[in-house]
Structure 1
Amino acid sequence: MPELSTFVLTSTAVAVIGISLGVMLPAVAMGWAVSRAMDALARQPEAERAIMRTLFIGLAMIESLAIYVLVVVLIILFRNPLLEYLIS
């Protein structure tokens, strides 16, 4: 049974690394997008409505990437097909 505990520990470590990268990179992208939107608003205040609408759509798309990463990591942690192979 030591290979089972090693496998569970390894898959948990990989899931933690995956979720940390999967949250950090979209967070950096969101910060960059907001920064660019504020710069665009400072240059053209009359285009506020179009800039903000595009910004919110872009932020929603970026946030969906982080949610997809969370779903995949949870699937790996709680429904790992290799775990059933090792148990039997």
Structure 2
Amino acid sequence: MGEFNKFFVEGLACLGAGIGMIAGMGPGIGQGYAAGQGCAAVGRNPGAKGSVMTTMLLGQAVAETTGLYSLVVAIILIFANPYTK
């Protein structure tokens, strides 16, 4: 592979990794919204704190998986790209 092609592929891999990390914004916004709604629910009904907190934390854990997957894909694109070897 020519030197230009190698740098071109590495540049596109980094660009793709950066675009993929935009997917990390979605879970952040969703988790913030879930936490705000959980606090509002506990404020309305303090007796249901345990079930509200459990459901909120479980939902946040599920929402975070997409952000973690995008991070893993970005790391693979940058450091384990088979086209740059």
TM-score, scaled to structure 1: 0.81
Q: Which of the numbers 4, 7, 26 marks the counterpart of 2:6?
A: 4
**What fraction of aligned residue pairs are identical, expressed as a percent?**
29
Measure the CA separation in 2 of the matches of 1:10 and 1:33: 35
Residue equivalent to 1:32: 33
In the alignment, structure 1 segments of 5+ residues that lack a partner are: none
1:18-61 deviation digits (Å, cap 9, x = unpaired): 11x12211100100101111111122111111000111111111
Measure the CA separation in 1 of the matches of 2:5 and 2:25: 31
Amino acid at match of 2:36: S
Q: Structure 1 runs of 4+ off > 3 angstroms?
A: 81-84
Confirm or deny that 1:83 pairs with 2:56: no
Measure the CA separation in 2 of the matches of 1:65 and 1:41: 27
Measure the CA separation in 1 of the matches of 2:16 and 2:76: 13
TM-score, scaled to structure 2: 0.84
In the alignment, structure 2 segments of 5+ residues that lack a partner are: none
> In the TM superposition, what is the alpha-carbon distance from 1:81 to its structure 2 partner?
3.2
* 26-35 vs 9-18, which moves further: 9-18
Measure the CA separation in 1 of the matches of 2:36 and 2:46: 15
Measure the CA separation in 2 of the matches of 1:80 and 1:4: 11
